[in-house]
Structure 1
Amino acid sequence: MKLIRTVLGDLDPAEFGLCNAHDHLFFRSALLPGQELDDRAAAAAELAAFRAAGGRAVVQWTPHGLGRHAGELPGLARESGVHLVAATGLHRAAHYERLPAMETLAELFTAELTEGITDGVRAGLIKVAGAFHRLDAHATATLHAAAAAHHATGAPIAVHHEHGSAAAEVLTLLCTELGVPASSVILGHLNRAPDAGLVRELAAAGAYLAVDGPSRANHATDWRLPELLAELVGAGHAHQLLLGGDTTTAAARSVSADGPGMPHLLTGLRPRLTRLLGEQAVELMLRQNPARAFAVAWRA
């Protein structure tokens, strides 16, 4: 049986509900000084606002070493009534002041998926990253470790693509060379890649596509987001699309700052997409697709 591994335990996918498939409650990066997401009260308020807008699930893509505050997640899930999924994995090297030993990564990722990150809070996905238009040594080593952890557990692999680049290289390495099924790979930030033809090719390979940009609604690639989704739906890829907010800075929060935050996915973007694409397609992106993408027949 396939189950979604949440911070409160494994969950029947039918209970997942409307899902923000890529966001951050907590995040601390060396590249974003002064914009840390490390305030529990602000995280709770953001979740409450998302819940009030109809949201029922949030997948947090914050990986190992970037201030996940995994111990806070069960309490936040209980208080908000929102299912939370935590991540293991590793981001680009530039986000870290200090990195774990690369030869330990596969073991680390597997342990956080099976034994837990802290106090029995187990990760439900592996988040990794490519480099800008290429796979550097760090990305290659991290992807190898992610593939090993996937084969040990069945966990999905979610990938940050810097400015939407290097997604084809990631799929070649993970799927062609390392044997990860494309259906277990989630390609993030593809709305930041202006080449719609390339995105269609990536979709044809069978991976899930995470379109995750409303927190940067002033960016050209994000206000073009509906156009890209319409093209992918028209090409027959509606069943592979996921939507997320990707709130990575304190300024992007809706309750404690001036950003659109998590609720915007449902209060701002969802109505626009429903008018453009129809309710059935949007329900797929927000409910059925994430329930399939994050559900696993766990091997450990």
Structure 2
Amino acid sequence: MVKVRTVLGDLAAGELGVTDSHDHLFFRSALLPGQELDDAEAALQEAKDFVAAGGRTIVQWTPYGLGRGAEWLPKIAAAAGVHVVAATGFHRAEHYPAEVLEATRPKLAEVFVRELTEGIGDTGVKAGMIKVAGGFHVLDQHARHTLSAAAEAHHATGAPIGIHHELGSGADAVLALLVDERGVPPTSVILGHLNRFPDHELHLELAARGAFLAFDGPSRGNNATDPHLFECLAALVDGGYAGQLLLGGDTTTARARAATGEGPGMPYLLTGLRPRLIRRFGQEVVDRLFVENPASAFAAPWGGTVRS
């Protein structure tokens, strides 16, 4: 039976409820100085506000080495009454000091598998997904290496793989490597940030491959997110792909938090976007985006898969 691996244990996929499919309670990168998400109290308040708005599950895509706050995630999940899915994985090279890249690159697949099956560090908190990054339109050597490690870890565990696409580009190259070269089932791949590259024809081609498509980031004012979101979703819903769409907030800076910053933060998905989505697409479609699709996208057999 497939299950979703949360920081408090494995759940039947049907128990997830309303899900923020891509967000961050904790995140720290040298690329965002002074904007670290490293305040446990602020993270707890953000989670509580998400729950108060009707949310039930938060999927945190923060990967290895970027301040995941693994020791805090179970406490926040319990205190806020929310399911939290943590991630293993590796981001773009620019996010890491040279010494971390040198020490970690040779053993990425091993790290991913260990964090998925045994736990992150000595916390005992198991990751429930793999988050890696593509490149800008094409895959550089670092991206190819991390994606290949993600594929190896997927085949060992069955874990879903979520992809950061730089400015939303390069998703076709990612599918070519993961699915065509490495044999990962497309239904185990979540293509992130596609709202940042609002090419409807490309989105339809990607959906036809069978992957999940994530539109995440209303908290990011410097990207084409909300202005293009509805037209992107409409093209895919009209094309018959409503069952492959996911929504997330992708709150990556302290400034973007609702509880302690300028917002809109995690609750905005439900307080701001969801009512508009219901008016445009109807309750049934919106339930698929927030409830049914995440239950499928983040579920795994947790015993590995057979390469096709």
TM-score band w.r.t. shorter chain: over 0.9
Residue of structure 1 equivalent to 2:295: 291
How do 1:169-188 residues align onto structure 2 when only pairs under 5 Å count? Answer: 169-188=173-192
Q: Distance in 1 between matches of 2:230 and 2:11?
A: 31
- Pair 1:77 & 2:77 matched: yes
SS in 1 for 2:179: helix
Match of 2:118 among 110, 115, 123: 115
RMSD over aligned CA atoms reads 1.0
How do 1:144-163 residues align onto structure 2 when only pairs under 5 Å count? Answer: 144-163=148-167
Q: Percent identity?
A: 64
1:165-219, Cα deviation, whole Å (9 max, x unpaired): 1100000000000000000000000011121100110011000001102112564
Residue of structure 1 equivalent to 2:133: 129
Residue of structure 2 equivalent to 1:263: 267
Post-superposition offset of 1:293: 0.6
Bigger drift between 215-224 and 227-236 goes to: 215-224
Residue of structure 2 equivalent to 1:236: 240
Residue of structure 2 equivalent to 1:104: 107
1:204-263, Cα deviation, whole Å (9 max, x unpaired): 100000110211256434321011111110000000000000000000000101110000
Q: How many residues align?
A: 300
Q: Distance in 2 between matches of 1:132 and 1:102?
A: 20
Q: Distance in 2 between matches of 1:157 and 1:174?
A: 9
Q: Is the 8 A contact 2:195 2:224 kept in 1?
A: no
Q: Any unmatched runs of 5+ in structure 2?
A: none
Q: Is the 8 A contact 1:192 1:222 kept in 2?
A: no
- TM superposition outliers: structure 1 runs of 4+ over 4 Å: none
Post-superposition offset of 1:264: 0.1
1:96-151, Cα deviation, whole Å (9 max, x unpaired): 12324312000000000000003210000000001111100100000010000000
Q: Any unmatched runs of 5+ in structure 1?
A: none
SS in 2 for 1:186: strand
Residue of structure 1 equivalent to 2:257: 253
Residue of structure 1 equivalent to 2:60: 60
Q: Distance in 1 between matches of 2:55 and 2:136?
A: 33
